[in-house]
Amino acid sequence: MTKIAIILGSTRPGRNGEAVAKWVLEQVSTRTDAEFELVDLLDYKLPHLDEAIPPSMGQYSQPHTKEWSAKIASFDGYIFVTPEYNHSTSGALKNAIDFLYSEWNNKAAGFVSYGSVGGTRAVEHLRLIAGELQIADVRAQVSFTFMHDFENWSVFKPSAHHADTLQTMLDQLVSWSTALAGVRNANVAV
């Protein structure tokens, strides 16, 4: 079965992302075409990148990197739940992505973002990063705005139409994640 990680990309105290990620997890609970797991960056305690050898070499020395590597490698695709900070994604998410390389390759990703303009600029940056990591990003994305989807800018109350957009994104993500299995398997055999 295709395995998809819902990566909660904020570690900030009082983060809105936790409610957003839990909403995604709730929405996927009825799907039978993939298994979904919430992966919270807070659980991995990653410091600023502290590996001496570039991640593309796959020679990790730190226990936290090895743990992160094993977790990310176990998935076929990803849903990145990202805030928008200063026209980009969170530093914590970018740092977590930068720890690894081959674990991300030939997999698919979808994006759920939130912020004052829906977090769309954060996703634009993540799409560029995905390309470098050989992640196939799907077109559909879910964007929550503080104005329309949060009460008092802090209590998550998503507009109903987002559920349909999420299902479209999931259809694309599961399809691409499944299709790329052949590419991943071919690379392992080489």
- Could you report the per-residue pLDDT of 84-106, keeping only the tens digit for each? 999 999 999 999 999 999 999 99
Could you give the residue ranges of the DSSP H alpha helices within 34-160?
63-73, 91-98, 120-132, 146-149
Q: Is the pLDDT assigned to residue 185 strictly greater than 90?
A: no
- Provide the CATH number for the domain around residue 162: 3.40.50.360
pLDDT at 188: 63
Q: What is the pLDDT of residue 121?
A: 97
The CB-based long-range contact list for 181-187 (8 Å cut-off, 24+ gap) reads: 181/2, 181/76, 183/106, 184/76, 184/105, 184/106, 184/107, 187/105, 187/106
Q: How far apart are CA 51 and CA 101, in angstroms?
A: 12
Structure tokens that stand for 101 in this block: 């390389």
> Any idea how long the chain is?
190
| Cβ contacts of 38 within 8 Å, gap of 6 or more | 5, 6, 8, 21, 22, 25
Please give the model's pTM, rounded to 2 decimal places.
0.96
Q: What is the mean pLDDT of residues 31-46?
A: 97
108: pLDDT strictly greater than 80 = yes
Domain count, the chain: 1
Of the chain, the percentage scoring pLDDT greater than 70 comes to 98
Q: Which segments of the chain are extended strands (E)?
A: 3-8, 35-40, 77-83, 107-115, 135-145, 150-151, 155-156
Closest residue by Cα to residue 75 from 3, 181, 177: 3
Reduced to 3 states, what is the DSSP secondary structure of residue 138? strand
CB 180 within 8 A of CB 106: yes
Is the pLDDT score of 136 beyond 60? yes
Mean pLDDT of the region 173-177: 98
Average pLDDT of span 11-33: 97
Place of tokens 């499944």: 178
Structural domain including 85 reads 3-189
Confidence of residue 186 (pLDDT cuts 50, 70, 90): confident
